Amino acid sequence: MIELALEKNQVREPERFLPVDGEYDVIVVGGGVAGSAAGIAAARQGCKTLIIERESAMGGLATVGLVNIPLDFPCGIGQEWLTELESMQGHWHRNSDPEKHKLVLDRMAVRAGCDLLYHTMVVDAIVRDGAICGVVVESKSGRQALLARRVVDASGDGDAAAFSGAEFAIGRDGDPNHYTQGCSLEFRLGGVDFDAYKASDLKRTDPKWIRLIAESAEKGWAHIAEVENHLNWLTHLPGRPEHCGQDEVSICISHSRRCRPLDNRDLTRMYLEGREQADAMWRFIKANVSGFGNCWLIDTGALLGVRDSRRILGEYVVTGWDLACRKHHDDVITISNHGYDMHGPEDVGNLKWIEAEIDGRTRYVIGKVTGFSSSAFPPGGADVLCDYKGRTGADMDYGDPFYDIPYRALLPVKVENLIVAGRCLSADFPGQSGSRLILACTTMGQAAGTAVAQSLQADIPPRKLDRKVLQRQLIKDGVNLGQSARPIPGLDT
């Protein structure tokens, strides 16, 4: 109980001792795809490991958020859960079943020996002599402390890192409002005749619904184009009815703009807005898209699709230019082939290109061919897009099929015994936009969990870990570091 004592429009909270609810080798903050992989990897290395998750299940946006499209390189723990999903008809053609995915991650974590705490929020960090040594949590059990020798922050928002004093950035360079990318609330539709949709003129001539949405005002749906100017993706739910007019699909099209996802009032605004947008969108789709005439809204995501918030300042900052030139690093721990994907912070559309100076000229650079599917182009349109050497048209060459995320991008510069993983990695705004896919985050998590375990075994801080020792273990555990496509210095692979 806090006795009311107002002081300068503040309530004084008395000092108190917190009960310690447990001591661990490794605490993982956040149980999304990065956090679940980190916890599983650390536990498999023999560490007493706890995963703390604020939702009721692991998987984050891949499960609770209905983002059932696990893209990027499948390997390691990511490949393991894909294989388990396939065995229960929960994965097909890079479409997954969020409900089955929850169960798979539960089982994998329990088999590895992880402790789990659901419905628990990390609200502070415990730091001693510049090193994190635990976290403070709040739950139905009250406010408690949990101690750890190592902490992995896979919260997405970088909460534990920020609480411990790590430096971070939010939003675009030079934006005084620090707006993040647009946030989306996914939704699912049932009763879809997908065969009819695939055979329709719309699917053949306007698969991203660009013209359909542009003409929405003429059809009496003036507010639709204010939400988004194209369909981001539409996926199947595997293991459900097919070819009988009763398909179930997930759709990403709704967006909130001018987002501040670290502000709970703005988060509330976005959930309210997202559900209203889903209601308007499914009615528009039902009325205007072939094969959807008998569809209905099943649900909206219980977790908002926040694409970026805090980006922790690490020993290395992954940049947009790194993606364009497919930069490689000796300390690679994850590879990705995703290009830029910046959902407009203030306006509809998403950017798949960056502005850069090449040979003294301002150019508009894409990281891969998907840059031509941008829904907002630079002055001059798609024709002026180029590769990292300024080549255009048929002369473009994107180089290697992947770029590297280095171990140093997971290491905050100021705080010891802490590693970050997932979308809060050390990157600039465009660099993060391409590094945040589900399977890339999963592999980052596996690398982080393996690294903290190895640092404990060697009794050294994580930043002192020999990257070759880490890489050899990751490769042994099935992680693809691109070792078959190019040599990694110091590794006999």
Q: For residues 128 and 221, what is the distance between their CA atoms, to the nearest angstrom?
A: 57
The predicted structure's pLDDT at residue 11: 86
pLDDT in tens, 427-446: 999 999 999 999 999 999 99
The predicted model scores a pTM of 0.96
pLDDT in tens, 277-315: 999 999 999 999 999 999 999 999 999 999 999 999 999
Could you count the other beta carbons within 10 Å of the beta carbon of residue 387? 22
pLDDT in tens, 27-77: 999 999 999 999 999 999 999 999 999 999 999 999 999 999 999 999 999
Q: For residues 86 and 97, what is the distance between their CA atoms, to the nearest angstrom?
A: 10
Residue 2 has pLDDT above 80, yes or no: no
DSSP code at position 12: P
The predicted structure's pLDDT at residue 1: 65
Closest Cα to residue 428, out of 76, 116, 155, 170? 170
* Residue 328 banded pLDDT, cuts 50, 70, 90: very high
| The pair of three-digit structure tokens given for residue 181, joined into one six-digit string | 């990318």
Residue 493 has pLDDT above 60, yes or no: no
The predicted structure's pLDDT at residue 373: 84
Query: Which residues are CB-contacts of 363 (< 8 A; sequence separation ≥ 6)?
Result: 355, 356, 357, 384, 386, 390
Number of residues in the chain: 493
| 339 close to 440: Cβ distance less than 8 angstroms | no
Query: Which residues are CB-contacts of 104 (< 8 A; sequence separation ≥ 6)?
Result: 81, 84, 85, 88, 90
The predicted structure's pLDDT at residue 158: 98
pLDDT in tens, 80-135: 999 999 999 999 989 999 999 999 999 999 999 999 999 999 999 999 999 999 99
Arithmetic mean of pLDDT over the chain? 95
Percent of the chain with pLDDT over 90: 91
Residue 407 has pLDDT above 60, yes or no: yes
| 261 close to 267: Cβ distance less than 8 angstroms | yes
pLDDT in tens, 191-227: 999 999 999 999 999 999 999 999 998 989 989 999 9
Residue 3 has pLDDT above 80, yes or no: no
* Number of Cα atoms under 13 Å in the Cβ half of residue 191: 11
Closest Cα to residue 151, out of 141, 138, 165, 139? 165
pLDDT in tens, 240-277: 988 899 999 999 999 999 999 999 999 999 999 999 99
Residue 466 has pLDDT above 70, yes or no: yes
Q: Give the residue, 3 or 246, on which the prediction is more confident.
A: 246
What sign has the CA pseudo-torsion 453, 456, 462, 468?
negative
